[in-house]
Amino acid sequence: MAGVFYGVLLAAAWAWRTGWAGEPLLYADAEAAARGVAWLADLGWGLAGGAAVIGVSWLATSRSRWGDRLARALAELVGRPSVGQIALLALASGVGEEAFFRGALQPRVGLVGASLFFALAHFVPRREMLPWSGFSLVAGLALGALFEWSGNLVAPIAAHALVNGVNLTLLTRRYSDPAQGDANVDVPA
């Protein structure tokens, strides 16, 4: 189910940016497309940015009550997926969300606008989940800055996939009920 959701998000981003606007989805603008991708640098900065976000989220969950409550609520939503399911979900959400929010939306509404929409997309009207929107806003700003700095989606996709992969693994292993199995794994992260 999550794979379908993120596939549709990717297709919508491609249709909007490439099909409708005639611009390459991977790049921030024509100048960035002419430069191309600096694979080593872009992946390195993406992984470093992702590691920083993981560090901040670990501090929040281990050092604050609101962070602990948020992690428990997220773990309840996703259940206890397998390592393979986590890897697939992390990659699919990283590609799909970054293609849509950074690749298609950010060139139209700017860094702050795309980050606000990203935070709204992560809004869940439950008290213990409200910090997720705030955290998503900050993460969206960081991911958007990576997109603007690198000029392409490689760094933000790497960062997003790393954050989701590591954080899903940590929170489901720490907070999920092992008896629950993978019953709720279809919930997009």
List Cβ neighbours of 73 (8 Å cut-off, separation of 6 or more): 126, 128, 129
Residue 34 Cα distances to 29, 37, 38, 132, 143, angstroms:
9, 9, 12, 37, 22
The pair of structure tokens assigned to 187 is 């919930």
pLDDT tens digits, the chain, 189 residues: what are they?
888 999 999 999 999 999 999 999 999 999 999 999 999 999 999 999 999 999 999 999 999 999 999 999 999 988 899 999 999 999 999 999 999 999 999 999 999 999 999 999 999 999 999 999 999 999 999 999 999 999 999 999 999 999 999 999 998 888 866 554 444 443 344
Residue ranges per domain, the chain? 2-13+40-180
